[in-house]
Each structure stands twice: as structure tokens, then as C-alpha cells.
Amino acid sequence: MRPSTIAIDGPAASGKSTIGYHLSCYLSYLYLDTGVLYRAVTWAALDREISIADEAAVTHLAEGLHIDVMPSTETDGRQYTVRVEGRDVTWAIRAPEVDAAVSPVSAYSGVREALTRRMREIAALGRVVMVGRDIGTVVIPDADLKLYVIASAEERAHRRQLERQTKGERAEYEAVLENLQQRDQIDSSRAAAPLKAAPDAIIFDNTDLSIDEMLKQAERLVDGLDPNGCM
Ligand code: DC
């Protein structure tokens, strides 16, 4: 029987969202990239000029903020639409200012509690692929299948750089690598729900795989097959 709840965790630009989105289409499941919730709170704090260092104010914001994540409403390359208080922020939450501020916001335990509660409500419905940093360890520790997706920091930096350049943004390799390493460091050393593999997660290293190979292997994993077996 195929897993109903699939938890996918891993560091930034490791391929976890690409895998998660693909699997959700393959299985016709709901897809939730939970990083967008942390990004939406961060975006709203910046938009309202709330200091990111003000933990109480940011937590209060997270507890009351109306965030909707829904199937894509536009044909501009997005996988889904994110609205904050009705405003479409799908691309705004990917801005470099949000990148720079999202790790401290996601380290606040009150913010995590508020957002984890929403994630669990969604997971309880089943037939879901949920992607993040602590899905298999904290949000749905009883998920039917857990993947922990990794790739080398250099490979991840190349991918992120390419992604930025494709969008017409400037992206220096060294700066992208440094930003990724800083975020890895904050995400894995924070006290609240640090980034780490659940003991029962399958470690999925895709450093040397093409996107096609990576997605085929992921399909085989949900089908209960050896990912490296005959295609
Ligand atoms: O995956 P992403 O880059 O969009 O995530 C944005 C930030 O949110 C990142 O710093 C890690 C954090 N995050 C988290 O702490 N827990 C999650 N379940 C998802 C994301």
C-alpha cells in the first residue's frame, strides 16, 4: 500500500521541494511546502516594519496572520499560490530580504508552535506530501514515509544560483554558497526543532543525480521499490 502521509526534510536547495511537488502530482496528493509559512510571516513582519529581533511581536504576528496556500492561480511558473491577508505574495516571499530574515524568524519557538499547529491540521487529512526541516521529526513523526534529502553545499549553491539567474536576478556563486551555509548553520543548531534526519528517515543523497534520475528514484521509493533497481 502506498504511504498516505509523506514527510520530506532537508537543507535549502537540496531538491526536496522538487521531489515533494513531483510526488504530489504523481500520487494526486496535496502538496505543502511548509517553508512558505515561515516566509509569509517574515514577509509580513518586514512589510509592517516589525523588527525581526522583536520575538514577542513576531510571535504575535504569526499567531494571528491569515495565510492561505492553494493550488496555483496563475500561469507564471509557480507551483502554488500563497496569500497573506488576501494579498498574493507568492513571489514576494522569495525576495532576498526574506531569505536574509527567515532563519531567525523560524528559530522563535512561539512562531514554530503557531505554524506547526496549522501543519498538523492539514496532515491529519492524509494524502499529503509535506516538505520542510522538521516534518519527520516534529510535525508528523508518525508519517508513513520519511525522506531526508541532501546534496553537497557546492551543488546546492550552483542550483540556487541558476534558479536566481533564470529569474533574471544577479547571483554570485560565492555569496549564494555563503548564504546557504549560514542558513544551514542556523537551521541545524537552533534549539527549537533543529534540522536533522528522523532516525527512521531514508537518506536520499542526490548530489550526482540528474533531475530525472532523482524523480524516478523518488517514485520508486513511494512505490516501495529499491530506488536503484532496474528502471
Ligand atoms: O525551505 P525554505 O528555504 O523555503 O525555508 C525557509 C526557512 O524556514 C528556512 O530558514 C528554514 C525554515 N523552515 C523551518 O524551520 N521548518 C520548516 N518546516 C520549514 C522551513
**Is 218:22 a contact under the CB 8 Å cutoff?**
yes
Confidence of residue 152 (pLDDT cuts 50, 70, 90): very high
Q: How far is the CA of 223 from the centre of ligand 1 (A)?
A: 27
Q: How far apart are CA 188 and CA 196, in angstroms?
A: 7
Residue with CA closest to ligand 1 atom 13: 35
Ligand 1 proximity of 12 Cβ (cutoff 6 Å)? yes
Give the architecture (CATH level 2) of 5-220: 3-Layer(aba) Sandwich (3.40)
SS3 content of the chain, % helix, strand, coil (to 5): 50, 15, 35
pLDDT of 231 over the 60 cut: no
How does pLDDT run across 155-209, given as a tens digit for each residue?
999 999 998 898 888 889 999 999 899 888 888 888 888 899 999 999 999 999 9
CA 22 to each of CA 32, 38, 102, 130: distance values in angstroms, whole numbers, following the listed order? 12, 22, 25, 12
Q: Would you list the domain boundaries of the chain?
A: 5-220
How does pLDDT run across 76-106, given as a tens digit for each residue?
988 899 999 999 999 999 998 998 899 899 9
Burial 49-71 (b: 16+ CB within 10 A, else e): ebebeebeebbebbeebebebee
Mean pLDDT across 11-34? 95
Ligand 1 proximity of 99 Cβ (cutoff 6 Å)? no
